[in-house]
């Protein structure tokens, strides 16, 4: 029965999410059960593409990504794939009428990761849009469940949240991106002279985006509001930890939030949600 394969496909996307991200996994658990599968499918898809460009060293990454793009096209066209992650993704895309342009923009940013690029402001914005903002928009199309008016209203806030998340990831992964992958995303920044003033400027950008994003989180449907708020609070806690480190400290080690601290964040976030602060 195909129904069994459909269930297996979504289950593998869920396991992929749990394996790679505790924070997003807990955030998704806080969503209404009716929309969780779609978010697992989106995360599984973008995680797989990200692994191709970030982790598959010693293999022809460009060839693998080209094949992945072709398999994505075929899965979306035929509405089936033997790759379980692609299968759950195409099912979600077709179910929620996710804009194909968003997928193309995401894959373009993955292609950018295959090349050594000296990022200026324009390329930086282009990369963040494709790697993070459009992922937020894919999720928003699931959250709004076909309500186009609500989607358009919340679209700017979803993009701000995705951008803030990505910039925090850049700061968190600064050491590995630079030393292992030879990448630096921040425009016109030489990491050999990366100092606290540059770090403060980036953090100021992130803070402003978080403030704008929270306005949109408060307007989300009840089915997704707490889950997105929880992910937001996880990243706020990571952001605070990064802010408390010097520029040289974040260049020396990856900043992490222990699981026990995530549990505390979850509990406090739930209390705030229940007393209708959101």
**The pLDDT value given to residue 248:** 87
Phi-psi region of 182 (alpha: psi -120 to 50; beta: other; left: phi over 0): left
How much is the CA Rg of the chain, to the nearest whole Å? 18
- Which fold would CATH assign to domain 2-274? Farnesyl Diphosphate Synthase (1.10.600)
Label residue 2 exposed, middle or buried (CB < 10 Å: 0-12, 13-18, 19+). exposed
| pTM for the structure as a whole | 0.91
In the numeric block, which tokens belong to residue 166? 């990505």
Domain residues of the chain, as ranges? 2-274
Closest CA to 46 of 109, 96, 101, 126: 109
Residues 105-115 have pLDDT tens digits of 999 999 999 98
Kindly report the backbone phi and psi dihedral angles of residue 43, in degrees, each rounded to the nearest multiple of 5, phi listed first.
-65, -45
Ranges of the chain whose pLDDT falls below 50: none
Can you tell me the distance from the alpha carbon of 254 to that of 245, in angstroms, rounded to the nearest whole number?
A: 11
Can you tell me the distance from the alpha carbon of 2 to that of 175, in angstroms, rounded to the nearest whole number?
A: 45
Residues 193-226 have pLDDT tens digits of 788 888 899 999 999 999 999 999 999 999 999 9
């Amino acid at each position: 029965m195909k129904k069994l394969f459909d269930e297996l496909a979504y289950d593998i996307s869920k396991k992929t999410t749990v394996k790679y991200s505790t924070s997003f996994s807990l955030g998704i658990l806080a969503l209404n059960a009716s929309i969780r599968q779609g978010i697992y499918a989106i995360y599984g898809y973008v995680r797989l593409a990200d692994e191709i460009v970030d982790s598959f060293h010693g293999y022809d990454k460009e060839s693998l990504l080209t094949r992945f793009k072709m398999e994505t096209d075929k899965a979306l066209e035929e509405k089936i794939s033997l790759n379980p992650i692609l299968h759950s993704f195409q099912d979600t895309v077709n179910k929620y009428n996710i804009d194909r342009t968003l997928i193309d923009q995401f894959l373009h940013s993955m292609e950018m990761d295959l090349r050594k690029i000296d990022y200026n402001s324009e390329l930086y914005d282009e990369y963040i849009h494709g790697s993070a903002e459009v992922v937020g928009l894919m999720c928003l199309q699931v959250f709004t469940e076909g309500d186009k008016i609500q989607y358009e209203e919340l679209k700017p806030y979803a993009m701000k949240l995705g951008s803030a998340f990505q910039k925090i990831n850049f700061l968190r992964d600064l050491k590995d991106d630079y030393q292992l992958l030879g990448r630096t995303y921040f425009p016109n920044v030489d990491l050999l002279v990366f100092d606290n003033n540059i770090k403060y400027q980036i953090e100021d950008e992130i803070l402003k985006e978080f403030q704008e994003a929270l306005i949109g989180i408060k307007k989300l449907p009840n089915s997704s509001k707490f889950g997105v708020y929880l992910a937001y609070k996880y990243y706020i806690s990571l952001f605070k930890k990064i802010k408390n480190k010097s520029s040289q400290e974040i260049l020396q080690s990856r900043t992490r939030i222990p699981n026990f601290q995530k549990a505390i964040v979850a509990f406090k976030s739930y209390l705030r949600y229940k007393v209708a602060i959101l």
